[in-house]
A = this chain, B = another copy of it.
């Protein structure tokens, strides 16, 4: 069955990038990017990542397996508009997705077809509709929420996410763009309950994978958490 999945590299304090870069300056030189590059450093040396970027070499380790598996599992992607705009030029003629990508946006635009199986379809009917389109296109594989972080948060808040994997990088940033924040819209005595399904540990990053069970009242006793499981 097609699952909706998301994964993101975060600091131990939950940031996926530095403070938001505003204005016309060079994003690559921004504090937002500096933190992002620190958090994704574990990926850039991995063979599975380099292959998708068209580079040779790289380490064939656990981290590479995690990346390769994620690319393999995704039959379609959903992406935020800011990430799609930002990636359009650097990804070039053959973006690393090799699958249909559905971009959540307010601006209609004809589908952009790239080499290697990647296409960008611009969906103006909202997030839930984009997820449905991606499910239809995934051919039985998973729908991966490609990011950015605010889109992942929206998908979780909307109850559309089945699996969340955080790649926790051993650094504390103190400031920046936070994946899980107040606009999840949870009540004071309510949480999103998760089930840890896999933990992989390397010196550079800890991979924490969870199945999302859904919203439930906070209960202190060990007898249940209100989700009926």
Question: How many subunits of this chain does the assembly comprise?
Answer: 2
In whole angstroms, what is the CA distance A19 to B173 when docked? Answer: 22
Whether a CB of chain B sits under 8 angstroms from the CB of A5 is no
Binds B, one of A72-80, A105-113, A192-200: A192-200
B188 touches A171 (CB 8 A): no
Contacts of A37 in B (CB 8 A): 218, 220
Binds B, one of A118-126, A137-145, A174-182: A174-182
B199 touches A206 (CB 8 A): yes
- Most B C-beta atoms less than 10 A away, residue of A38, A206, A210, A219: A38
23 CB contacts below 8 A, A to B, read: A11-B191, A13-B14, A13-B181, A14-B14, A18-B188, A19-B188, A34-B220, A35-B191, A38-B191, A38-B218, A38-B220, A38-B225, A45-B222, A168-B208, A170-B196, A171-B193, A172-B180, A172-B186, A174-B181, A174-B184, A174-B185, A174-B186, A199-B199
| Min CB–CB distance A25 → chain B (angstroms) | 14
Contacts of A192 in B (CB 8 A): 171-172, 174
Which of A's residues lie within 8 Å of B, judged by CB? 11-14, 18-19, 31, 34-35, 37-38, 41, 44-45, 156, 166, 168, 170-175, 179-182, 184-186, 188-189, 191-196, 199, 201, 203, 206, 208, 210, 218-222, 225
Contacts of A175 in B (CB 8 A): 182, 186, 188
A189 (CB) vs chain B CBs: closest residue: B34
